[in-house]
Structure 1
Amino acid sequence: MSNPIDEAHARLVSLLPDFRAAIEAGQNESDTRLKILDRFLFEVLNWKHEAVFTEPLSGTGYIDYLLTIGGRNETILEAKRVGLLSPTTKGREVINVALSGAVVKPLLPGIRQAMGYAMEKGVAVAAVTDGNTWLFFRGSRTDGKPPMEGKGILFPDIDAVANNFAKFADLLSPASITNRHHLAHLNEAEGITIPEAEQQFFVLDPNSARMRRRDPLATDAALLFAQFFSRMSNEKDREMLRDCFVETGESRKADVELEKIIQRVLNTITPLETGKGGALVDELSRAMETRVSETVLIVGNKGAGKSTFIDRFFEQVLPSGLRKKCVVCRIDLEDFHGDRDAVARWAMQQLLQSLEAAVCSTNPPTYDELQGIFFSEYQRWSQGTRKNLYETNKKQFKDEFGKHIEARREAYPDEYVRLLLAWSAKSHQQLPCLVFDNTDQFSPEIQDAVYQLAHSLESAASVFNVVPITDRTVWRLSKAGALQSYSAHSFYLPVPDAKEIISRRVNFLQAKVEAEPGAAKSYFSRLGFRVEINDLAILADAVRRVFVDNDYVSGFIGRLGNFDIRRMLRIAERIFLSPELAIDEIIKSRFGGEDVTTDKNKTHRALIRGEYDRFNEIENEFISNIFSTNPLRPAPPLLAYYILWLLRQKMNSVRPDDDNVEDWHWRVGDLCRLFEGCGVQEELVLAVINRLYERRLVEALDPNTGRVGVGDQVAIKESGIAHLELTLNSSVYLEQMALATGVAEVSTRDEMQTAFKAGKFRDLQDAFLRYILKVDRGRLGIPPNRLYEHIEMARKQIQGLADSPHKRPPPARKPRPQPMST
């Protein structure tokens, strides 16, 4: 995979002759900007034009360049005439310099000018350059240090830039500024360091986790889950997928409306069958030329079962009479390599192959079929430009026309696909139904391109486009994208409860078990089961008792899985297969034994430990340790908890009828500034937010964001809310996190270890919480200000757990209403 820094350096090297020529010419400031700085920003570092503002007015003048990220002012770039900046150093290496020192004395006017602009615009970093010499420094400060007492990073000339390009790019490229690399370099230049790394001690080291032995029935249960519960797409068992789809009021409405839309579009391409005559021919021709097309958006959150709904609709719901008139072609972007510039060509090639296989009688198509597809050209050749050859040597004519067809097919797939669509509609009276699946896992640019491609095909023939898409994507594209330009029918599919999803699968399994013995045995044998049918019935009943008859478990699974069907089913599998929830005990309870399925503590322990002897976050993708800190860059241990708390408060402050997704989100830069008031460095806040993002406890406004930066906006997800619930209400979660969290004090580790060995889990939790609170107070101070009441309230909740480990904390005092922003 190519490195963006290496690619940018290659672009710089190719432009160095032009830059050196401009520097040698020593022209005015405008030439410096046009011939060097503009090209540095846009051609070398790939800044987008909309993120760069030239000559914006400030209180003291016009700024040469104001660089922004996500609408936030980030860097001031002050330009000077080539040769005007000549530092008093004979070296040609990058050096750290004092802004008040002799080396940069010739640059002082430009430094002071840039600092003035930076303070007016609230920008932390500024730079002065004449295209040859570059000096980066802090333009404004919040640490009480006068800006002129700071230090900067000096690149004496263009060769120093080229020879130290990685550092230069870290200071000026948009990606590096987003990830705060520029501040890290300036902090290093000034001698600022993150607190020293700490050694951490564990009661039970998560890295030493070992698998526990499975219950004798667990192997069969694992196969049961793999075949009927965890798997969402099983090509070998389409029957199970169709029968286990959970219908909702919204899905039933979508079924009816989609059928009506298909019938309406088909009416424009189906020939009239009542008699013959000129009037009917005219009517048919008019209908053919009408080319009525429709585009449908199947909207739902990720994992809502949109693809399954579409498969079921075309295979089972749509009446057979209509189904026979439809040619369904699926373009699955799950196989796409991700190059946004190639997505249209890639999708067209997939559509070409799918349409050929669906429309033509053979694969590859016969000559006669290809002749029909290219019939208009065939007529033009035979009656026009190749008429003589057609009348004198038809064999040669056909050979040449065949070569022409193949050349056009390979060189112009877009044209060929359009001919296939028209041929399907006009010659076969069939409706092409084009499904563009799995687009929402890609960037907005790719989604926009696919959506525009789908609409562009409507000009070729009557088509029925189906695009499954997330509600977040619909909202974004409706603000700025193809949805503004094209109309479409939208149908929303909510995610059913985990209880409904699992119940449907249990019913399917039990129906198979209760079927005629021979047929049932054959069905299960085909799927790999080697157990008795009666055993399968008992296992299915156990699944029902754990998940269907227990509303708490199924509800918690939904929140923890962010209402993603795949994730909810994997969580259910994790709980059911854990030795904590012994399957043989559940089966015994069916015959009069103690009921173990409603024990919340067992459920939590099964979820947290799974099949291991301790919690291990690497192995567990659903449960996160929100107290964990990086030993190399230790942050306040409650920082993740505070961030989740604030984001939940933000969500609660939005009216239920507010459909503006942006209102649910908080800008990361504002959160960083909020915690800066508590003495927590921005770098630590960003690291914690990104960890929460990677663990799916928070989401970005743009779901395709790779790493969250200060310009992004984030909101809490259902899994984040579930983790807050675990922290404040689950003694098992606190117990397991106490065992698996690294602490910097050996005495605290020993105290917790003693409590653990003695089975005194409340003492273990108490020691853990006292340590967490002590360290947190040392690293994060809460100012006595209304703005910080929510953080203070969050800390008091944890303090309540430490003060009263035997009971849940009382409800906290509700803070005075205030706007949730900084």
Structure 2
Amino acid sequence: MKKWNTDTALLKFKKINSQEYDKYLSESDTRSKLIDYILIECLGWDETNIIREERCIDSGLYLDYKLSTNMPIIIIEAKKNSACFNLPDSSNQREYKVGGVLSKCKFLIRAMEQARNYSISKGILFTVVTNGNEYVFFRSHNQQGIEWVDHNVVIFRSHEDIEENFDLFCKLLSKTSAENGTIQKTLGISGSSSDEDLTYKILDTKYLNRPRRKDRNSLFPVIGDIIHRVFQDLASQEATPDILEHCYVDSPKKPDKKSPYTDIKTNELSVNKNNAGEFQQRILSTLKTGKTNHKEVILLIGSVGVGKSTFIQRFRKVLAKKEIDNDGIWIYFNFKNYSDTGITLDSFISSQIEKILINEYSYLGLDEWKFLKQVYHNEYEKLKRGPLAPLHDINPQKFELSFGEKVDEWSSEKREEHFTKILSTASKRLKKTIFLVFDNADQLNTETQNSIFLAAQKLTEEINCYALLAMREESYWKNRDCGPLNAFHTTAYNVQPASLHQVLSKRFNYTKSLIRTNEYELNSKINITKEELEKVFSRIIKTLLGSDQTYINFIESTAARDMRRALDTVAYFMISGHTNIDAILRDERKEQPDGFIIPFHEFLNSIILRDNEVYSESDCDTLNLFNTMGNSDISNCNIVAVLGNILYSKNSKSDIGIGYVLIEDIIRDCHSVGILPDTTTSILVNLNSRRLIETETTIKNEIKSSSYVRATISGNYYIEKLSKMIGYLSLIVYQTPICRAKTFKKLNRLKTEIDSFCLNDYGSRLNRVIKKMEMTEVFIDYLYSEFQRSSFINETNKFSKESINLVKDMKSQFIIERENIIKRAKNLFCNNYSK
């Protein structure tokens, strides 16, 4: 196919003026003789891109043209050639407002409104009205709340005008322009004059981070070390046997019903305090019998953060430590950072084997000459009887030196084969069972995962050993009947997730035991006893694990079922300067019978703000759902719209699994309501990195290699719960771009008033709470107006009802929650003030 270019297009367009056309062409002739020629011959559109006379269900009428690339993008309304638009005479002005002088062109405005209705009905943004000679371009709707009368209109008065400005005409209507996004940049919403009106501003809070970040709470010097030890990642190789023994949660008795892969037929991994059930019996039976020729690939299946790596560490360091130390060689490959190493897979595996053999098994003498001669025994005998026989017969010592040089050469040039031989020989000669453990491989792309699995299978065959491979459920589900898994026999064990409540209970109990058994000396500068410190932790446990499930629901949901993230959240809560540990301690010393429970809004402050005075999205794990993304399509609603489009299909089944949606479908649907493909893609990348969505490849840092995404439990929680909480809204308002000048001034004034209150005075603290509620209400009203102007809330067949009704529900919930917050504040501060 000949490549389209503007020079050739212009030559073809000039032919129009050389032809004789009846001045009074009918509407159908205008389309067939003029517009069809321009679109196909001049502007590069194919017949497959053009749909004519499509019926609009809303009106029952028929639109003239719908142009599509990978999605519908332009609507054209054609009028008869004799229809006069009465465009303004000025030859110097090309851009107008709908409500300006164009409003006097009554026939044109009616045609534009008709075309606009078609476009809105079809969810298409770019619209053209033409009589074959005159062309009028405009957008049918926008995300910025700009009134229709303020929309920008670009006009061409004649074919001669188009010829003289052909490059601009192509940017507005050519297929290439539609495909590469040029049309979006060329056809603005309301022209350059509107840029000032739509400037997004963020409240100035730099002075609040003076000149450092917020201090951590007063007990941090005491509890910081404990938190670091107890709430560390058990999957880390640095995790000690002591913490693995005390903090590991036994396998649940019932399988996880939340998993979308419940149809997987695997062996349940049953782990308790003393053993790992059938899995452990399988391994230890080989170690006890001394069978070193057993070869098997064992898969550990489980979702992200479920504890596959933790189980591997506990099995090695606690459950089977004695047996593996005595009779095994444990080679652990951590592929977490493999993609950053810049070396081949074979080289990575070889280097890891070498490192472990040197650091952990040097006592076996596997690099000594005596052992290496056994490793290369066949080669030794072959050279002894063959090419180097004369040297061996004359001077055996020189033969040994020559063979040593050969071994050194082989170990350098054929490293993978060299270490395979070493492990194989160690298995046979030393009666050691070899365990090759491949962990975190499922965080890589599908192609690399398959290569790692094939490498594991190959090494298992060559060494006669065990290979233990951790794999996510989705990877196993996709590959069990095809791909590498289908070619080999494997045994799979399903690692069931422990509940967050169980995990936290274990950690907190271990913390209290460390305090009781004098594992830690208290800082002499901190006025607190061990008994008081233990009671402080009891109060924290009562807050997080008590009858109010709001706290644990937040932790579990925002972590997207990743236990590591959940533990990090709890750790930040306990060390944050926003956590009022002093209040807990004071209450404990008063021996209050009910006990102080940390209010949920204070809990949110600690988690979201961490060590900052104000919210900063880049410094925490909490997403601002109303942040702006995009350029000409910039809006506070875009992130909600994209997430809402994904959530619309959360219960639908696809070939990939439940809730998965094609990325190209998301881009198309969002484009239909004015969100450009680049903006949608950027939002998807952001949501994926924050784990509000996940791809079918489960790669967190990019979506390029993926075709599908689905919302996680975190994405659902943001829309249904978190986004409506006053505690969340009152924090993110400080970093949400605001485009309405009046709203921004009002928010800025309230912020100044809030900052002026003295926190040492109970009356001022109460007024501060009241003003914060007022500020949050202004913010909600602003969001409400923005959402009402957004196109996506009218598309009930593309976006979830929770996203469409989000701000309405937010307003209703605010009224109830505000009343309760102010009531509690009055009871607290007024009572204290009266005392």
Same fold, TM-score > 0.5, yes or no: yes
Alpha-carbon offset, residue 568 of structure 1: 1.0
Letter of the structure 2 residue corresponding to residue 576 of structure 1: M
Counterpart CA distance in 1 for 2:6 and 2:303 is 57
Preserved CA contact (<8 Å) 1:234 1:241: no
Preserved CA contact (<8 Å) 2:558 2:717: yes
Which of 669, 677, 680 is matched with 1:682 structurally?
A: 677
Preserved CA contact (<8 Å) 1:628 1:741: yes
Question: Quick check: 433-442 or 800-809, which moved more?
Answer: 800-809
Alpha-carbon offset, residue 361 of structure 1: 3.8
Preserved CA contact (<8 Å) 1:668 1:714: yes
Which of 733, 737, 742 is matched with 2:737 structurally?
A: 742
Structure 2 match to 1:777: 788
Structure 1 pair 202–113 and aligned structure 2 pair: CA distance change class (3 A)? closer
Letter of the structure 1 residue corresponding to residue 568 of structure 2: R
SS at match of 2:344: helix
Question: Quick check: 351-360 or 410-419, which moved more?
Answer: 351-360
Alpha-carbon offset, residue 583 of structure 1: 0.6
Structure 2 match to 1:794: 803
Counterpart CA distance in 1 for 2:704 and 2:382 is 59
Matches within 5 A, 1:362-401: 365-401=367-403
Q: Are positions 1:115 and 2:46 aligned together? A: yes
Letter of the structure 2 residue corresponding to residue 255 of structure 1: A
Counterpart CA distance in 1 for 2:424 and 2:369 is 18
TM-score when normalising by structure 2:
0.68
SS at match of 2:488: coil
Letter of the structure 1 residue corresponding to residue 401 of structure 2: D
SS at match of 2:222: helix
Counterpart CA distance in 2 for 1:496 and 1:570 is 16
SS at match of 1:301: coil
Structure 2 match to 1:474: 476
Structure 1 pair 483–199 and aligned structure 2 pair: CA distance change class (3 A)? same
Alpha-carbon offset, residue 368 of structure 1: 0.8
Matches within 5 A, 1:412-811: 412-478=414-480, 481-515=483-517, 520=519, 533-534=530-531, 537-549=534-546, 551-591=549-589, 592-593=591-592, 595-621=595-621, 623-630=622-629, 632-633=631-632, 635-653=634-652, 661-704=656-699, 706-708=701-703, 712-727=707-722, 729-754=724-749, 757=753, 759-780=770-791, 782-783=793-794, 787-788=797-798, 790-791=799-800, 794-802=803-811, 805-807=814-816
Letter of the structure 1 residue corresponding to residue 294 of structure 2: V
SS at match of 1:696: coil
Counterpart CA distance in 1 for 2:200 and 2:395 is 88
Counterpart CA distance in 1 for 2:184 and 2:225 is 55
Structure 1 match to 2:243: 240
Structure 1 pair 577–114 and aligned structure 2 pair: CA distance change class (3 A)? same
Structure 1 pair 684–371 and aligned structure 2 pair: CA distance change class (3 A)? closer
Report Cα offsets for 1:59-89 as digits up to 9, x if no partner: xxxxxxxxxxxxxxxxxxx248xxxx99868
Question: Quick check: 685-694 or 112-121, which moved more?
Answer: 112-121
Structure 1 pair 711–333 and aligned structure 2 pair: CA distance change class (3 A)? closer
Question: Quick check: 450-459 or 726-735, which moved more?
Answer: 726-735
Counterpart CA distance in 1 for 2:5 and 2:775 is 64
Report Cα offsets for 1:197-251 as digits up to 9, x if no partner: 7323445647954523333213323332122214543737442233211121454
Structure 1 match to 2:89: none
Structure 1 pair 335–509 and aligned structure 2 pair: CA distance change class (3 A)? same
Alpha-carbon offset, residue 187 of structure 1: 4.4
Counterpart CA distance in 2 for 1:544 and 1:513 is 15
SS at match of 1:344: helix
TM-score when normalising by structure 1:
0.69
Counterpart CA distance in 2 for 1:97 and 1:265 is 79
Preserved CA contact (<8 Å) 2:660 2:710: yes
Structure 1 pair 488–221 and aligned structure 2 pair: CA distance change class (3 A)? same
Structure 2 match to 1:345: 347
Counterpart CA distance in 1 for 2:675 and 2:687 is 17
Matches within 5 A, 1:271-290: none
Letter of the structure 2 residue corresponding to residue 691 of structure 1: N
Which of 263, 269, 280 is matched with 1:259 structurally?
A: 280
Structure 2 match to 1:22: none
Letter of the structure 1 residue corresponding to residue 737 of structure 2: G
Preserved CA contact (<8 Å) 1:697 1:718: yes
Counterpart CA distance in 2 for 1:468 and 1:462 is 20
Report Cα offsets for 1:247-288 as digits up to 9, x if no partner: 214543592222233245558854xxxxxxxxxxxxxxxxx7
Alpha-carbon offset, residue 781 of structure 1: 5.5
Structure 2: which 5+ runs fail to align? 19-36, 52-66, 73-123, 138-175, 253-267, 754-766, 819-835
Counterpart CA distance in 2 for 1:86 and 1:765 is 53
Structure 2 match to 1:307: 309
Alpha-carbon offset, residue 112 of structure 1: 7.8
Counterpart CA distance in 2 for 1:108 and 1:722 is 47
Preserved CA contact (<8 Å) 1:381 1:387: yes
Counterpart CA distance in 2 for 1:404 and 1:505 is 55
Alpha-carbon offset, residue 671 of structure 1: 2.1
Preserved CA contact (<8 Å) 1:265 1:462: no
Structure 1 pair 804–511 and aligned structure 2 pair: CA distance change class (3 A)? closer
SS at match of 1:494: coil
Structure 2 match to 1:183: 180
Structure 1 pair 417–792 and aligned structure 2 pair: CA distance change class (3 A)? closer
Structure 1: which 5+ runs fail to align? 1-77, 90-95, 127-140, 152-176, 271-287, 810-822
Q: Higher Cα Rg: structure 1 or 2?
A: 2
Report Cα offsets for 1:23-51 as digits up to 9, x if no partner: xxxxxxxxxxxxxxxxxxxxxxxxxxxxx
Structure 2 match to 1:137: none
Counterpart CA distance in 2 for 1:321 and 1:87 is 76
SS at match of 1:261: helix
Matches within 5 A, 1:129-148: 143-145=126-128
Preserved CA contact (<8 Å) 1:762 1:805: no
Report Cα offsets for 1:582-607 as digits up to 9, x if no partner: 11212233342363325222222322
How large is the Cα RMSD of the aligned pairs?
Answer: 4.2
Preserved CA contact (<8 Å) 1:359 1:424: no
Counterpart CA distance in 1 for 2:11 and 2:636 is 36
Structure 1 pair 521–339 and aligned structure 2 pair: CA distance change class (3 A)? closer
- How many residues are treated as equivalent by the alignment? 649
Structure 1 pair 680–236 and aligned structure 2 pair: CA distance change class (3 A)? closer
Alpha-carbon offset, residue 685 of structure 1: 2.9
Preserved CA contact (<8 Å) 1:215 1:582: yes
Report Cα offsets for 1:768-788 as digits up to 9, x if no partner: 2222122233342644x6625
Preserved CA contact (<8 Å) 1:561 1:568: yes
Preserved CA contact (<8 Å) 1:700 1:714: yes
Letter of the structure 2 residue corresponding to residue 504 of structure 1: K
Counterpart CA distance in 2 for 1:109 and 1:745 is 43
Alpha-carbon offset, residue 324 of structure 1: 1.9
Counterpart CA distance in 1 for 2:359 and 2:681 is 50
SS at match of 1:440: helix
SS at match of 1:235: coil
SS at match of 1:423: helix
